Amino acid sequence: MDDSRVLLAGSRLPAHEVERLLRAVTGASRTALLGGMAVGRDQKVRFRRLAVRRLAGEPLQYLEGTAAFGPIEVRVDPRVLIPRPETEQLWDLAMGMLPAGPCTVVDLGTGSGCLALAVKHRRPDVRVVAADISAAVLEVACLNARRLGLEVDLCHGDGLAALDPALRGRVEMILTNPPYIAESEWEDLPSEVRDHEPRSALVMGDGLDMYRRLAAEAAHWLSPDGVLAAEIGAAQGEAVVSIFAQAGWESEISQDLSGRDRFLTARPG
Ligand SMILES: C[S@@+](CC[C@H](N)C(=O)[O-])C[C@H]1O[C@@H](n2cnc3c(N)ncnc32)[C@H](O)[C@@H]1O
- Structure confidence at residue 34 (pLDDT): 86
Structure confidence by residue, pLDDT tens digits, 232-259 = 999 999 999 999 999 999 999 999 999 9
Q: Which atom of ligand 1 is nearest to the CA of 109?
A: 12
Kindly indicate the confidence band of residue 10, based on its pLDDT and cuts at 50, 70 and 90: confident
Whether ligand 1 lies within 6 angstroms of the CB of 143 is answered as no
Is 80 exceeded by the pLDDT of residue 201?
A: yes
Structure confidence by residue, pLDDT tens digits, 176-190 = 999 999 999 999 999
Q: Spell out the residues 6+ positions from residue 82 whose beta carbon is closer than 8 angstroms to its own.
A: 59, 61, 62, 67, 76, 197
Is 70 exceeded by the pLDDT of residue 1?
A: no
**Centroid of ligand 1 to alpha carbon of 178 (angstroms):** 5
- Structure confidence at residue 11 (pLDDT): 81
**pTM attached to this predicted model:** 0.96
Whether ligand 1 lies within 6 angstroms of the CB of 177 is answered as yes
**Centroid of ligand 1 to alpha carbon of 123 (angstroms):** 22
Question: Is 132 within 8 Å of 110 (Cβ atoms)?
Answer: yes
For 70-92, letters b (16+ CB in 10 Å) and e give: bebbbbbeebbbbbeebbbbbbe
- Structure confidence at residue 9 (pLDDT): 82
Is 90 exceeded by the pLDDT of residue 2?
A: no
Pocket probe mutation, ligand 1, options 156, 163, 200, max atoms within 8 Å of Cβ: 200
Q: Which class in CATH covers the domain with range 66-268?
A: alpha beta
Whether ligand 1 lies within 6 angstroms of the CB of 111 is answered as yes
**Centroid of ligand 1 to alpha carbon of 160 (angstroms):** 12
Parse the chain into domains and list their residue ranges. 2-56, 66-268
Q: Which atom of ligand 1 is nearest to the CA of 69?
A: 9
Kindly indicate the confidence band of residue 7, based on its pLDDT and cuts at 50, 70 and 90: confident
Q: Which of 107, 154, 132 is nearest to 201 (CA)?
A: 132
